[in-house]
Structure 1
């Protein structure tokens, strides 16, 4: 059972949450601050324990696999139905660049954050979630289903619901559809955490999705 937060933590969390609500979408500094105060060591330990229930997840915390250097132009030369090509196309179209290669200390919490961060856009491609607001909500719901009991993604969903209610209520139906679809997809899918995606670049995306029980959307 997750320990309840004390009054001091509650105040810090609420302040960080409101700061994120007021921030523009994609403010990674504000997201990182909220993550730091929400996912305390006790929570992170429970996430690690949950992810370690599968053989792949358990081994990932031993091997700590990272993507390594990614050449988007080279990946883009792969057949257009492969994971590598579609990932590169996603990154190039959106003007994204892969995260820089990092040295991972022998710390499961550091690896957890690094792995989730550098594979975020791969999860976008594999799940079919767009990068617009409903698509990001859909992927956040997918994360919430897959990374029990990560408090951050639940908070990000709450933040986006509040911002929708305050500023873009006309997106309500799309946001709610994304949330429900992402949650159900995440519950049905096999765990994505710990997959060594750089070994799957040449595999057709549809084949990858089928192997993970993810229906193309």
Structure 2
């Protein structure tokens, strides 16, 4: 069998329990067909996940190199921590001004479960598959750190931050898809206010993939934001200024999650959150 034939038709062995091995030809076909299907039916989280995984190769390789060169990132790759409901229960016992307490409030008010994300299936390398898993699982931590609402504007803005941080193609596609689903007035507001914030926040923040979030649950949220150079979302910053404090008060309503404008709640926002790591890809 020639090199070209091996690339197109040879099926590798499974690299991890949930891996679905594909030939090169199958991988190419799946990328194209799942992309078309996801654009036509954004509710198909399986298609969104598939295109996210099959299109991520070069970006994932770059992420691995970056994490390997960072001591904290290298530790994450070696230890492969997972964000689960067990961790969420531990966070729920923490004070509301801690990172863990704010995370538990965010998850609880939305009825989210840390265990409900889909497994990675179409990334051929086990370590790269873990990086996809990690990006999915820490997405909700990013909501907490940046104070992003789970409405459309909040999700699109956070996806823009993710694209700057990870370079994963699906994050850029999610930004475009979210823009197309916003009414003209809210799209203009997104482009005028929230995407410029996202560009600044994504560029200024520390490497989000190299943060050991599980070790920071007991840390004060404001201090953690300062440590990792987090710029909170515009509406959150405005609320903080009106209150005369660096961040809005924490409590039953997680900090800043009513920010980023009214957006469009319901189905569209839920679809975008699915593409942000809950039921879909990074």
Settle same-fold status: TM greater than 0.5. yes
Q: Is 2:151 the partner of 1:132?
A: yes
Aligned residues: 205
The structure number with the bigger radius of gyration is 2
Q: Is 2:172 the partner of 1:154?
A: yes
Q: For residue 77 of structure 2, give the secondary structure of its aligned residue in structure 1.
A: helix
Specify the alignment match of 2:224 in structure 1: 208
Deviation (angstroms), 1:170: 3.0
**Contact 2:31 2:50 (8 Å CA) reproduced:** no
Pick from 107, 126, 133: which aligns with 1:91? 107
Give 5+ residue unaligned stretches, structure 2: 1-25, 234-282
Task: Please give the residue correspondences for 1:155-170 in structure 2 after superposition, counting only pairs within 5 Å.
Answer: 155-164=173-182, 168-170=183-185
Deviation (angstroms), 1:33: 1.6
Give 5+ residue unaligned stretches, structure 1: 1-7
**Contact 1:134 1:175 (8 Å CA) reproduced:** yes
Pick from 188, 193, 198: which aligns with 1:182? 198
Q: For residue 59 of structure 1, give the secondary structure of its aligned residue in structure 2.
A: helix
**Contact 2:99 2:217 (8 Å CA) reproduced:** yes
Q: Deviations over 1:111-136 (max 9, x none)?
A: 10111111111111011111100100
Q: Is 2:69 the partner of 1:50?
A: no
Deviation (angstroms), 1:55: 2.4
**Contact 1:9 1:37 (8 Å CA) reproduced:** yes
**Contact 1:44 1:109 (8 Å CA) reproduced:** yes
TM-score by length of 1: 0.80
Tell me how far apart the structure 1 counterparts of residues 117 and 56 of structure 2 sit (CA, whole Å): 24
Specify the alignment match of 1:172 in structure 2: 187
